[in-house]
Amino acid sequence: MSPKIYVTGTGIISALGDNVPETFRSLSELRSGVGPIRHLQTVHENEFVAGEVNKSLKALGGMLGVNNRAYTRGAMLGMIAAQEAVLSSGIGDINEVRTGLVSSTSVAGMSLTELHYKELFEKTDHLSCIDSHDCGDSTVHIANLLGITCFMTTISTACSSAANAIMLGARLIKSGKLDRVVVGGTDALSKFTLNGFNTLMILDKQWCSPFDEERRGLNLGEGAAYLVLESEEEIKRTGKQPLAELRGYGNANDAYHQTASSPEGLGATLAISKALDTAGMKASEIDYINVHGTGTANNDLSEGTALLNIFGEQMPDFSSTKSYTGHTLAPAASIEAVISILSLQHQIIFPNLNFSKPMKEFNLVPVVKLKKGVHLNAILSNSFGFGGNCSSLIFSVPRS
Amino acid sequence: MIIYINGTAVISAQNHISPGAFPEQVNVPAQDHFGALEPSYKEHISPNMIRRMGRAIKMGVSASIRCLEDAGIKEVDAVICGTGIGCFEDSEKFLLALIDNKETLLTPTSFIQSTHNTVAAQIALLIKCHQYNMTYVQRGFSFESALQDAILMLQERDGLNILAGGIDEMTAGYLTLQRRAGYIKKDVFSGGTLVSETSPGHYMGEGAAFFVLGSQQSASSYAILEGVEMIYAPLSTQVLESAISDFLASHSLSLGDIGLTLLGNSGDVRYEQKMTALQSGYFKDIPQGNFKHLCGEYMTNGSFALWLAATILRNGKVPPSVRTNSLPGNSPVHILVVNHFRDREYTLMLVSRC
């Protein structure tokens, strides 16, 4: 039997709040974090809504006790969430056993670079942007903050990035290379992505409505979330009570189009079946699906088809939590992993917001009311991205 | 489990006529950077796509297809890429349009291609590979992370063929900014091996190198990939030395078994104290070489070094232009690559003769 991988800590910052308890409260009160744009300076600020972290750069620096000028927004978001994850896992000396960091980001330092790019060629004021532009920058800052030196890397597979970070972390533990690993992702909202998604005409100007026939597109968001994964031996050694178990994972490529998903949902279907395979589980053992559900015409159709391919008539409860957080891109999968773990811990399903009419292609109706006291043992979480990157994760209540 | 390098392809500042041959004439660019000599793309990519694609994408896709041809296979079980800065040309194009037009009148093409996973995605699309697809972006660990993932995967499941590679591009804007930040040498490259340079700065480079890795030896096998190791910011040369001997010991080797060490000297005096100390101390009795005087400095030039090591092992000879000391030994059995990026990311790769 494959070695078990446990989740012992979680950390999150998003439009739903600055930490796990605030996130749980917002979700339980069905309070979306998506609203008018306040922090990003863009000509589109009155045109679109977004799921911003309601903090200025200065406030983020304040939370960390650092000078915010030395960090990008994405790096600070990542530092805050990763720090919470490590604290909540009860780790004292981070290097007591082999501990790694696998982070992910898609937009990296762009939120800063885009403010100064042209000046960089004329003045020297913001030249340090050059060193914080790449994807590795936030990871180095997180590793330095946590004191991790043993292993670090960063993944960038667009909107599935953090799912792949979680997956690699588990594989590194299973291979015996690491004993525990901090995994997740971070992305700040930027003009670059807002305008990019706008050119693709897949932004909803109002609240997004995933899986609805009248859906108009996605809302962008920002944030960061990290999990601490530990080996079975570490759980035995420390006697810790894990929060959840990471049972399965799958990565596949749709190989259909650079930005669009195939109508038959091939990549998504493959990713889900690979996740079930590694978990050694049957589709019927999945109790709830936290769908990718961005609210675009294309994603929801493709994902819905994939769900039908796998689950057929026995569709488990499902919902998209993008209507609470917005689509946060790279960290979407780790944010949804934290939300899925909250669902497992509290035996609760957070409903899909803004849903009124099933899509005409199939009769798929998400959970639309808060469901408490449900029996949830295993949750499937999907994340699909540009470049055909499709990844799925399965979390369960920890087995003893 | 033995991992074979069963195919390679490389694009660099050197003139690569065939994947497994070392160029007869070494190209010395006489500039402050090593621009890649790009191959003709039209045999592998449609003219329409050549026009649209950024250079990182073209180099990555072209090297991938050539690599599969070299290995004599059409399908792989995974595509794993490493890139330090990704598709910078497309990012820059979209960003400049965004700034110039004040967030209006933008078109999506360069945005679509700006994501870091574009190269791996385009490869998957072109060869219709629905399997595992991954992109690593950790500075001087980007390519080595991809390699590490491939090794993990081959250990998890026998019989797979994996395409793994590293890609980075240089744009005029990126080069200018690197100059302004003081990373580039003030003079032009005039030849030599970059060892014992006394000035700050490096010569920037770019390129792509891909590998087909598998657990079965084939007629096209170059070498055995024994392993890869990443060491972040070692505090001293001693820390690095003990990491190197631990790495060799984990593969049942000792320093004396190494027939050639390829040390990635960038020529920037500010970052090379540890490399210089290794050269005159730890490795003093080992034949030494460099590769950055052939490809320049970029975050994924470890992929060029691996191509060079694999090629040397298959051909059984060390090109004189690679050597940086005068110790004999022309037909190494084990080659150790020791690379670093600005004294932060140190990487080790161990490659052996089949």
Taking 90 as the threshold, does the pLDDT of residue B17 lie above it? no
Show which of residues 32-91 on chain A sit within 8 Å of chain B, judged by CB atoms.
Answer: 42-44
Dump pLDDT digits (tens) for B258-311: 999 999 999 999 999 999 999 999 999 999 999 999 999 999 999 999 999 999
Show which of residues 168-187 on chain B sit within 8 Å of chain A, judged by CB atoms.
Answer: 173, 176-178, 180-181
H-state helical runs in chain A: 20-28, 57-64, 73-88, 110-116, 129-132, 136-146, 161-174, 191-199, 232-238, 266-279, 297-311, 322-325, 332-346
Locus of tokens 């219709």: B128
Q: Do B106 and A198 touch (CB under 8 A)?
A: yes
| Residue A338: strand, helix, or coil | helix
B163, B71 in Cβ contact below 8 A?
no
Query: Domain check: are A229 and A255 in the same one?
Result: no
Query: Domain check: are A271 and A299 in the same one?
Result: yes
Residue B153 one-letter amino acid: M
Which pair of structure tokens corresponds to residue B352?
């052996």
| Boundary of a domain, candidates A238, A264, A282 | A238
Query: Domain check: are A297 and A199 in the same one?
Result: no
Which pair of structure tokens corresponds to residue A351?
């409903």
Which pair of structure tokens corresponds to residue A244?
């959840």
Q: Which of B280, B143, B125 is nearest to B211 (CA)?
A: B143
Chain B CB contacts of A40 under 8 Å are none
Query: Domain check: are A183 and A284 in the same one?
Result: no
Query: Domain check: are A269 and A225 in the same one?
Result: no
Show which of residues 95-134 on chain A sit within 8 Å of chain B, judged by CB atoms.
Answer: 105-106, 108, 110, 113-114, 117-118, 120-121, 124, 127, 130-131, 133-134
Q: How many A×B Cβ pairs under 8 Å?
A: 180
Q: Which of A7, A73, A22 is nearest to A325 (CA)?
A: A22
B296, B267 in Cβ contact below 8 A?
no
Candidates A130, A201, A258: best to mutate against B (most CBs of B within 10 A) is: A258
Q: B4-214 — its CATH code?
A: 3.40.47.10
What are residue B164's DSSP bridge partners?
Answer: B80, B211
B296, B205 in Cβ contact below 8 A?
yes
pLDDT at A284: 98
Whether B12 and chain A come into contact, CB under 8 Å, resolves to: no
* Full 3-state SS string of A88-123: HCCCCCCCCCCEEEEEECCCCCHHHHHHHCCHHHCC
Show which of residues 16-55 on chain B sit within 8 Å of chain A, judged by CB atoms.
Answer: none
Q: Do A251 and B173 touch (CB under 8 A)?
A: no
Told to judge if A159 belongs to the known catalytic residues of this protein, a careful annotator would answer: yes
Q: Do A252 and B98 touch (CB under 8 A)?
A: no
Chain A CB contacts of B111 under 8 Å are 192, 195-196, 199-200
* Structural domain count of chain A: 2
Other C-beta atoms closer than 10 Å to the C-beta of A88 total 18
d(CA A26, CA A21): 9
d(CA B71, CA B165): 14
Chain B CB contacts of A155 under 8 Å are 134-137
Residue A60 half-sphere exposure, CB side, CA atoms within 13 Å?
Answer: 27
Whether A151 and chain B come into contact, CB under 8 Å, resolves to: yes
Query: Domain check: are A288 and A203 in the same one?
Result: no
Whether B157 and chain A come into contact, CB under 8 Å, resolves to: no
Average pLDDT of the residues of chain B: 96
Residue A392 lies in a domain: yes
Provide the pairing of β-strand A389-396 with A378-384: antiparallel
Cα–Cα distances in Å, from B114 out to A22, B38, B62, B89, B109?
34, 20, 18, 8, 9
User: Nearest residue of A to residue B86 by CA position?
Assistant: A134
d(CA A255, CA A268): 11
Query: Domain check: are A224 and A256 in the same one?
Result: no
pLDDT at A400: 79
B164, B219 in Cβ contact below 8 A?
no
Q: How much of chain B exceeds pLDDT 70, in percent?
A: 100
B334, B259 in Cβ contact below 8 A?
yes
Query: Domain check: are A255 and A311 in the same one?
Result: yes
In this complex, which of A151, A155, A255 lies closest to B125 when CB atoms are compared? A255
pLDDT at A1: 64
d(CA A226, CA A166): 9
pLDDT at B19: 82
A18, A349 in Cβ contact below 8 A?
no
In this complex, which of B108, B118, B131 lies closest to A387 when CB atoms are compared? B118
A199, A191 in Cβ contact below 8 A?
no
Query: Domain check: are A372 and A266 in the same one?
Result: yes
Chain B CB contacts of A114 under 8 Å are 95, 98-99
Q: Which of A159, A208, A346, A390 is catalytic?
A: A159
Chain-centroid distance of CA B174 in Å reads 19
State the sign of the Cα–Cα–Cα–Cα dihedral B96, B102, B103, B108: negative
Taking 90 as the threshold, does the pLDDT of residue B18 lie above it? no
Told to judge if A126 belongs to the known catalytic residues of this protein, a careful annotator would answer: no
In this complex, which of A140, A175, A192 lies closest to B94 when CB atoms are compared? A192
pLDDT at B300: 98
Q: How far is A367 from chain B (nearest CA, A)?
A: 31
Residue A324 one-letter amino acid: Y
A363, A314 in Cβ contact below 8 A?
no
The backbone torsions φ and ψ at residue B39, rounded to the nearest 5 degrees and listed phi first, read -75, 175
Q: How far is A393 from chain B (nearest CA, A)?
A: 14
Q: Do A252 and B131 touch (CB under 8 A)?
A: yes
Residue A213 lies in a domain: yes
> DSSP letter at A350?
P
Show which of residues 295-354 on chain B sit within 8 Å of chain A, judged by CB atoms.
Answer: 299, 344
d(CA A154, CA A76): 16
pLDDT at A252: 98
Chain B CB contacts of A153 under 8 Å are 136, 138, 141, 145, 148, 230
Q: Do B108 and A200 touch (CB under 8 A)?
A: yes
In this complex, which of A140, A258, A389 lies closest to B133 when CB atoms are compared? A389
Query: Domain check: are A76 and A104 in the same one?
Result: yes
Other C-beta atoms closer than 10 Å to the C-beta of A122 total 8
Chain B CB contacts of A131 under 8 Å are 181
Query: Domain check: are A61 and A196 in the same one?
Result: yes
Residue A244 lies in a domain: no
Buried b (16+ CB within 10 A) or exposed e, A187-223: bbbbbbbbbbbbbbebbbeebbbbbbeebbbbbbbbb
Q: Which of A334, A310, A296, A189 is nearest to A252 (CA)?
A: A310
d(CA A171, CA A248): 11
pLDDT at B67: 98
What does the domain layout of chain B look like in residue ranges?
4-214, 223-352
The backbone torsions φ and ψ at residue B245, rounded to the nearest 5 degrees and listed phi first, read -70, -35
Other C-beta atoms closer than 10 Å to the C-beta of B32 total 19
d(CA B333, CA B342): 29
Locus of tokens 């992370």: B145
Provide the CATH number for the domain around residue A101. 3.40.47.10
Whether B138 and chain A come into contact, CB under 8 Å, resolves to: yes
Q: How far is A252 from chain B (nearest CA, A)?
A: 5
Q: Which domain holds residue A346?
A: 249-396
pLDDT at A210: 98
The backbone torsions φ and ψ at residue B212, rounded to the nearest 5 degrees and listed phi first, read -100, 120
Candidates B79, B132, B153, B204: best to mutate against A (most CBs of A within 10 A) is: B132
Chain A CB contacts of B117 under 8 Å are 156-158, 385-387, 389
What are residue B81's DSSP bridge partners?
Answer: B135, B165
Q: How far is B26 from chain A (nearest CA, A)?
A: 32
d(CA A253, CA A247): 21
Topology agreement, domain B4-214 and domain B223-352: yes
For chain B, report the end-to-end CA distance as a whole number of angstroms: 13
pLDDT at B328: 83
Q: How far is A134 from chain B (nearest CA, A)?
A: 6
Q: Do B94 and A139 touch (CB under 8 A)?
A: no
Q: ipTM, 2 decimals?
A: 0.98
Residue B35 half-sphere exposure, CB side, CA atoms within 13 Å?
Answer: 12
Q: Which residues of chain A have pLDDT under 50?
A: none
pLDDT at A335: 98
Dump pLDDT digits (tens) for B44-101: 999 999 999 999 999 999 999 999 999 999 999 999 999 999 999 999 999 999 999 9
d(CA A129, CA A109): 8
Domain B223-352, CATH homologous superfamily name and number: Thiolase/Chalcone synthase (3.40.47.10)
Whether A387 and chain B come into contact, CB under 8 Å, resolves to: yes
Candidates B130, B148, B250: best to mutate against A (most CBs of A within 10 A) is: B130
> DSSP letter at A12?
E
Dump pLDDT digits (tens) for B134-185: 999 999 999 999 999 999 999 999 999 999 999 999 999 999 999 999 999 9
Instruction: Categorize the per-residue pLDDT at B20 as very low, low, confident or very high, splitting at 50, 70 and 90.
Output: confident
Q: Do B134 and A195 touch (CB under 8 A)?
A: no
| Boundary of a domain, candidates A238, A271, A294 | A238
Query: Domain check: are A126 and A202 in the same one?
Result: yes
Residue A358 half-sphere exposure, CB side, CA atoms within 13 Å?
Answer: 9
Whether B232 and chain A come into contact, CB under 8 Å, resolves to: yes
